[in-house]
């Protein structure tokens, strides 16, 4: 199925899916270069630093994979194809780090091939993007163990 590319990013959590324990269902991608030596990271809008493209799996999306590819477009400006399911990763934040704006989550990650990097995308004015080799990405994702786990589950050259 062709990826639908919207000009604006979705906002809010009115259509957010939740799991059986009340956790927010989040879908994300690990976008690798063709030779699998680099991963594309984006700047976080909340905390600064670098993260993987990810966001809420919404009720009008049939699969977490569909949500992950939408988030990749909105946040990183990439059109991608899923090549490998990386599984579900539990939220690793301490209870003190959870808030009403950042509740407990379950992350569904996918390794993707980047088919196209657009010059313009919905969140271009909010986020930078950068290709990084494994060691640099590992350092950048260190504050977010669930994202580092997704990277480690991918086939990136370590």
Amino acid 93: pLDDT? 82
Distance CA 82, CA 153 (A): 14
Amino acid 11: pLDDT? 62
What are the residue ranges in the chain where pLDDT is below 70?
1-13, 102
Amino acid 2: pLDDT? 56
Amino acid 8: pLDDT? 61
Rounded to a whole number, what is the distance in angstroms from the first to the last CA of the chain?
32
Amino acid 22: pLDDT? 87
Residue 149 structure tokens: 């786990």
Residue 40: CB atoms within 10 Å: 24
Amino acid 96: pLDDT? 81
**What is the pairing mode between strands 24-32 and 54-56?**
antiparallel
Kindly report the pTM of this predicted structure: 0.89
Helix (H, G, I), strand (E, B) or coil at 33: coil
């Amino acid at each position: 199925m062709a990826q639908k590319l919207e000009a604006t990013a979705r906002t809010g959590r009115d259509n957010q899916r939740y799991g059986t324990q009340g956790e927010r269902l989040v879908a994300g991608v690990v976008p690798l270069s063709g030779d699998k030596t680099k991963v594309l990271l984006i700047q976080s809008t909340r905390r600064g630093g670098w993260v993987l493209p990810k966001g809420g799996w919404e009720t009008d999306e049939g699969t977490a994979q569909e949500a992950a590819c939408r988030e990749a477009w909105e946040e990183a400006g990439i059109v991608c194809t899923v090549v490998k399911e990386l599984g579900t990763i539990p939220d690793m934040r301490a209870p003190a780090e959870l808030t009403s704006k950042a509740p407990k989550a379950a992350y569904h990650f996918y390794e993707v091939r980047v088919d196209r990097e657009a010059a313009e995308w919905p969140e271009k004015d909010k986020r930078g993007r950068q290709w990084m080799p494994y060691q640099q990405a590992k350092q950048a994702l260190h504050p977010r163990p669930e994202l580092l786990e997704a990277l480690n589950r991918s086939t990136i050259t370590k």
